[in-house]
Amino acid sequence: MAKDYYGILGVTRDASDDEIKRAYRKLARRYHPDVNPDPEAHETFKDINAAYEVLSDDQKRQIVDLGGDPLAPGGGAGPGTGAGGPFVGFQDIMDAFFGGGGARGPRARTRAGADAILRLDLDLAETSFGVEAPITVDTAVLCTTCSGAGTAAGTHLATCEACGGRGEVQSVQRTFLGQVVSSRPCAACQGHGTVIPNPCPTCAGDGRVRTRRSLTVKIPAGIEDGMRIRLAQQGEVGPGGGPAGDLYVEIHERPHDVYSRKGDDLHCRVTVPMTAAALGTRLTIKTLDSEEQLDVRPGTQPGATLRVRGRGVPHLRGQGRGDLYVHLDVRTPVKLEPEQERLLREFAKTRGEEVAELSKQGGFFSRMRDAFNGHA
Ligand SMILES: [Zn+2]
Ligand SMILES: [Zn+2]
């Protein structure tokens, strides 16, 4: 269903271009979001803009007068399908009839700024317990000389002469559908419809300047590698002093010398001597924030794991912490003193364990090798 664009602007169907422009300005001043924060006013403002966009464009206005809606997808008058003509592309025809494409009246000078992302390297203790980290961002901020307007003090924007303020230029082309008018953004004003005769000397008309800013980001306890913290409106200020984008701080956790992290659990490896594994012992483990006494039971095997509850990383959401897992390696002595060897042999004998004599006949392993290779 076609919208009543004339009714929205409060003008008659035979209103002149000037009357339409005056009606639009009057309404825009009343409903612009900058002066009227009411959400309903915002919707009205959108309608007013759409109505002006349509009625200020001869082609679109003609579609309205024929009962169509140039802003509704597929709602325009005229043929809706057909291959591209010999002179212009299909998109040009669609643009001309249905008001699609990039050329839709002047482009706003003020636009929203881009988001920014920053990498932050943290130690395990910092990601575990949280930290207030200082960061430095290179970003665009509002130009204080012109407050974003882009114009030098005491000067104003001027209507672009090349496009008469429409922000777009039209060309007429002959196609199989008849004459088609296609629109493109005006090159002289980049589609803004206005030019800056006297740009602000500080920002050269951009309304923003680049600078380096320092701020502090609060890192919550339990944050994980790869997570991002969003700092609303700490990104770049937009062209023409538009609202700033967001800043995302991406967390990178440096590997720890002792602990590796899996979720909120921590893992480490501890080597104990063979005798300690056999006889049992007590270990002192330095965790991230405490010292723990760990009992290694007599007869502990290589690869055994000790679990210390609640000594891992605090959970990011909610209470509690992960666990700490201590993986035990058992080290066999590499070199034995004669007395130590004698005691071990004695020990083996009492257990009835057979131990070969390596010092005689080239040793046990060389005999094994010979057996593998098929020697006698
Ligand atoms: Zn400026
Ligand atoms: Zn222009």
Cβ(229)–Cβ(146) below 8 Å: no
Q: State the ligand closest to the CA atom of 199.
A: 1
With H, G, I as helix, E, B as strand and everything else as coil, classify residue 151. strand
Q: How much distance in Å is there from the Cα of 272 to the middle of ligand 1?
A: 68
Give residues whose Cβ lies within 5 Å of ion ligand 2.
160, 162-163, 186, 188-189
Average of pLDDT values for 158-165? 93
Q: How much distance in Å is there from the Cα of 150 to the middle of ligand 1?
A: 5
> How far is the C-alpha of 197 from the C-alpha of 137, rounded, in Å?
32
- Interval 163-209: pLDDT, tens: 999 999 888 877 776 777 788 899 999 999 999 999 999 999 999 99
pLDDT band at residue 356 using 50, 70 and 90 as cut-offs = confident
Give how far the C-alpha of residue 69 lies from the chain's centroid of Cα atoms, to the nearest Å.
38
Phi, psi of 116 (to 5 degrees): -130, 155
- Interval 221-278: pLDDT, tens: 999 999 999 999 999 999 999 999 999 999 999 999 999 999 999 999 999 999 999 9
Q: How much distance in Å is there from the Cα of 156 to the middle of ligand 1?
A: 13
* Confidence (pTM): 0.60
Give the position of tokens 């409060």.
10
Is pLDDT above 70 for 33?
Answer: yes
> How far is the C-alpha of 35 from the C-alpha of 51, rounded, in Å?
20
Q: State the ligand closest to the CA atom of 185.
A: 2
